Structure formats: C-alpha cells, structure tokens
C-alpha cells in the first residue's frame, strides 16, 4: 500500500481519484507548519502540493520513503529540485492544466483596470456616484505589448486580437518567423516599451527576468501606460512601479502576483489606480479540477506502474538503460544549458552528433536531455523530459541527429551545434571513466571543463599577465576560484578561460573584469 499526503488544498476530483485507486492510501492534511510536515513526511511515498508547501532539503531528508512530489500547477519555485534529484525523488508538475485560466485572468485584469470596475464597485457600496471621476478608456485599437510568447502569452495575444487590439510580441527565445506565423508582430523589448499602451508579462521568474519591469523600463514606455502581471511576483519591481504611478508615468497597474505572498504592507496599495487579486490566475473550478486530476493520475501511474509523466528532473527511461546512458544524459543536459547561455538570439536549429562506440544504446533519451537543458533557461518549468522535443518543435527549432561509429580523440563524444540568426556555437562533451562529465570543446577551443556551478567564461589575449590580472581582481573582492580551465584558440592568439567560483560573481565585479587590459569579454554562466 502506497501512502500519499496531500498538504495543500486540492480539487476534490483529484482526492477522489486517489481514494478510488487500489493500492493507494491518501491523507489530506493542509496548513501544516514546516515542523509539522517534517514530523510526518517520513510515513509517505508521495507528496501532493500546490504553492503553499515548501519542499526544502530538510523536508526531503526527513522523507525517507518519499518517491515523488507532484505539483498541481506549473510553478516549482517552492521545491528544491536539485536536492530532490540527489535523493532520487521524482518531481512532477502539470504544465498545461491552467494555461487558459491564467490567460483569461490577465485579460480580465486588463479590462477591469481599463474601466475602473473595482473602484466603481467600492464607490457605489460606499454610497458615492463617481461617474465622472471613474471615466475609462477603450481597448479597441490600442496596442498590447506581450512579453513572453509561451503557452499563456500566446493565448493572451489571441484573446487581445479578438478584442481588435494591436498586439506586439517580445520573446528572445522565439524566432520572428514563428511569431509572424501565429499572426503577430515580433519586436525588440525597447520597441515594445515605446509602442505599447498596455504591457503584460508572461515569462518565468529567472535571474534574467527578476526586476525586468523596473525604473529603466518604465522610463522607456509611453506616458499613461498600463501594466499587468499575472505571471510571477518579482518580475515587476514593486517600488519602481509605485514611483512610476506616483509620477503619472504609469496610469494604472493590475497585479495578481507579488514578490512576497501574502504581500503585507505594500506601497502600491496606496495608489488609487492599482487593482489586485490574491494570486487567482489559476483559480477557476475548471483549472483546479484539471490540475487535481492530472497530478493524481500522474502520481498513481508512477507509484503503481513506474511510468513517469511530466517530470522535471527524471526521464521516462527503464532502469537498465538509465544505468548505461544516465551519465551521457547528465552531460548532455549541461551542454544544452551551456549552449542556451552562449546563444545570441532565438535558436533556429540544433544538430546533435554522436561519435564513437554508442553501439546498442538508444540515444533518444540523451537527445531529449540535451533539448531539456537547452530550453529550460528559456521556458523553465514548461519543459520536461517528456515534452522537450514537442516544445522545440513549437518554438520552430529544427532538430537533427546523426551517429558515427568512428571515434577520434574520445571513445564516446557528443557534439552539439546550435544555430541562431547571428551565428553558430559548437560544444562537445564526453564522460571520463564511469561518470565524470567533461566539456572538451567550445567552438575552436579545446579544454576539459567540469560543467557545474558558478562559472565565468572569459576571452582574453594570450599574453603574459592576463590570467594573473583576472585572479588579482577576484581576490580583491574576496571571490575564491574553485577551478580554472584554460583553452587556447587553434591557430589564434586568444585564450578561453573558465573560472569556477565558490559564489556568484557580482555584476560590479564582472564590469571591472570587462574593463581590464587584455580581456575581450566576460560572460557569467550558471550550470
């Protein structure tokens, strides 16, 4: 008998599915403190959550029997995925169950903001008739700027087109051809800012998107612009938005998400033209039923049959094959992640070459791992080991694979070529011994890089003192170098340096390195 704990509110249809399944014993126990959850999690094989439960390393340590964590929804910011992977715990989500609901909420927020519906309701209930004060505007013929053209952003764009709005799209990971094919206009971010009457964000919360809409962004926008965020808290800088609304630059804002939830005291609540909801984007009966049933079906299928669906950290591969190709999947995933950070512009094509003695191995899971590593920095939790090839196809990326038995320098070598509109990058990797991952080539440079941790990619002139100067600068800022890998350009006069540091290098230190003599470029990487 497998024991399942539901620790957050879950649609009754999902709970009932657990109860009706032979071999499953389900407990619903919501509102647990971390200490209470830690005390009981050791009795359970599966944990079902939404956004409230924090699945920390401490909780995972206590869950000695835990086999799977399932999120009824898409976001997994509240799950320590590396810690779960290290302990062999499968982490699943339900990436498609609430996309329509969230998109519709963004449209509803835009309309409510435009026509002052919340303010009108409050004024009437307060005995006032503020008809002139609450004059709105039409959305017809206005320009909506959509940042992020994934599943939700594309639905928002489609609904806005139905309202006869002009829609412009910015997504650095989707080619202009794909956006145009969908019937919209792709633009640069600055162009979107300058043209949009409304700006709505539909991107995952990443290092690159945190604080994306800040003072610098607002300064580039039209006077009287309106802001909608139903994606993730923290993508809009709340203090900068409050300042922009106070000055009149931003005429109104509609937020469903906040940097801290519940937000407590918030400067934005002082603004009359600010409307908000308590993270209701996915809160409809339909969506909650969809994700509840989906997560229950996935967990049951995994516990009873061993089938993995929508896992973000584990491939759907039989154990015997996984033992053989698992290390190659790991290095492939890291190579894909590295390529994503090297890419200059939307990815157009991916070529995966297997060279050497891969005879008898099914390399399809490795190719999937490569695509997942490549796409995850772009779309985060919307991609997993099951849907990575489908997501690549939806983004207009052509994927080609080839296998050659003749080995050259390495018994097994994986070469990944990724092309954008601005050029191509080549990364090659292999496994040394049983499981040691190594990246052995980046473009024309040969090296042996362990692809993990905080890394600085530095191009510099191959002259005495160049590397010493870099080390001195980092030392002055108390940044310790864990590993250093140096490669030389074939028939050239440049070095490529990979510095792995114990802690992330702050932006100001990166700026200082970029101005150093004999340094051509510095790019921070996270692997």
Residues annotated as catalytic (active site), given as ranges: 232, 261, 279
Sign of CA dihedral 305, 310, 314, 316: positive
Cβ neighbours for 360, distance < 8 A, ≥ 6 positions apart: none
Q: Distance between CA 32 and CA 47 in Å, rounded?
A: 13
CB neighbours of residue 440 within 10 Å: 20
From 127, 15, 22, select the one nearest 70 (Cα to Cα).
Answer: 15
Strand order in the sheet with 46-49: 24-28, 2-6, 46-49, 68-71, 90-92
347-356 and 398-404 beta bridge pairing: parallel
| Dihedral over alpha carbons 286, 290, 293, 299 (to 10 degrees) | -150
Q: How many C-beta atoms lie closer than 10 Å to residue 126's C-beta? A: 8
Would you state the structure tokens that stand for residue 504, as one six-digit string? 């992330």
- Cα separation, 235 vs 211, in Å, equals 5
Token duo for residue 411: 């018994």
Structure tokens at 442: 């980046």
* CA-wise closest residue to 230 among 118, 108, 139, 143: 108
Compute φ and ψ for 174, nearest 5 degrees.
-120, 130
Neighbours of 114 (CB within 10 A): 19
470 Cβ contact list (under 8 Å, min separation 6)? 458, 460, 497, 499, 513, 516, 519
């Amino acid at each position: 008998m497998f024991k399942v704990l539901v620790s957050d509110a879950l649609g009754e249809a999902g709970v009932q599915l657990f109860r009706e399944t032979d071999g499953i014993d389900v407990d619903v126990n919501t509102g647990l403190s971390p200490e209470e959850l830690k005390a009981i999690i050791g009795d359970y094989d599966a944990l079902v959550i939404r956004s409230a439960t924090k699945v920390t390393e401490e909780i995972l340590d206590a869950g000695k029997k835990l086999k799977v964590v399932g999120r009824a929804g898409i976001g997994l910011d509240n799950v320590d995925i590396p810690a779960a992977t290290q302990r062999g715990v499968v982490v699943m989500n339900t990436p498609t169950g609430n996309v329509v609901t969230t998109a519709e909420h963004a449209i509803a927020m835009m309309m409510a903001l435009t026509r002052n519906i919340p303010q009108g309701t409050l004024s009437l209930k307060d005995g006032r008739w503020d008809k002139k004060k609450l004059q709105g505007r039409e959305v017809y013929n206005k320009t909506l700027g959509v940042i992020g053209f994934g599943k939700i952003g594309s639905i928002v764009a489609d609904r806005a087109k139905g309202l006869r709005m002009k829609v412009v799209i910015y997504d650095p990971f989707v080619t202009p051809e794909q956006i145009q094919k969908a019937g919209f206009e792709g633009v640069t971010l600055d162009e979107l800012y300058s043209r949009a009457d409304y700006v709505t964000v539909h991107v995952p919360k990443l290092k690159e998107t945190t604080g994306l809409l800040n003072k610098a962004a607002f300064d580039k926008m039209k006077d009287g612009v309106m802001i909608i965020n139903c994606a993730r808290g923290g993508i809009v800088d709340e203090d900068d938005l409050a300042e922009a609304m106070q000055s009149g630059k931003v005429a109104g804002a509609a937020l469903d998400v906040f940097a801290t939830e519940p937000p407590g005291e918030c400067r934005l609540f002082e603004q009359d033209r600010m409307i908000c909801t308590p993270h209701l984007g996915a809160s409809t009966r339909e969506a909650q039923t969809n994700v509840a049933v989906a997560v229950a079906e996935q967990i049951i299928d995994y516990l009873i049959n061993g089938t993995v669906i929508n896992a973000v950290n584990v491939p759907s591969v039989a154990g015997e094959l996984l033992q053989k190709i698992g290390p190659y999947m790991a290095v492939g995933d890291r190579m894909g992640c590295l390529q994503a950070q090297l890419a200059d512009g939307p990815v157009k094509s991916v070529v995966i070459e297997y060279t050497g003695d891969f005879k008898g191995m099914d390399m399809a899971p490795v190719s999937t791992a490569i695509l997942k590593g490549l796409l995850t920095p772009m779309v985060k939790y919307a991609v997993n080991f099951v849907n990575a090839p489908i997501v690549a196809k939806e983004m207009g990326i052509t994927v080609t694979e080839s296998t050659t038995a003749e080995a050259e320098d390495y018994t097994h070598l994986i070469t990944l070529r990724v092309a954008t509109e601005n050029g191509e990058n080549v990364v090659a990797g292999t496994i040394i011994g049983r499981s040691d991952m190594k990246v052995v080539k980046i473009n024309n440079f040969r090296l042996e890089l362990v692809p993990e941790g905080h890394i600085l990619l530095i191009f510099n002139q191959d002259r005495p003192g160049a590397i010493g100067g870099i080390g001195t600068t980092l030392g002055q800022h108390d940044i310790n170098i864990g590993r250093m890998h140096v490669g030389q350009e074939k028939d050239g006069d440049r070095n490529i340096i990979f510095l792995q540091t114990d802690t992330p290098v702050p932006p100001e230190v990166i700026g200082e390195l970029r101005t150093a003599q004999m340094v051509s470029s510095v790019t921070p990487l996270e692997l």
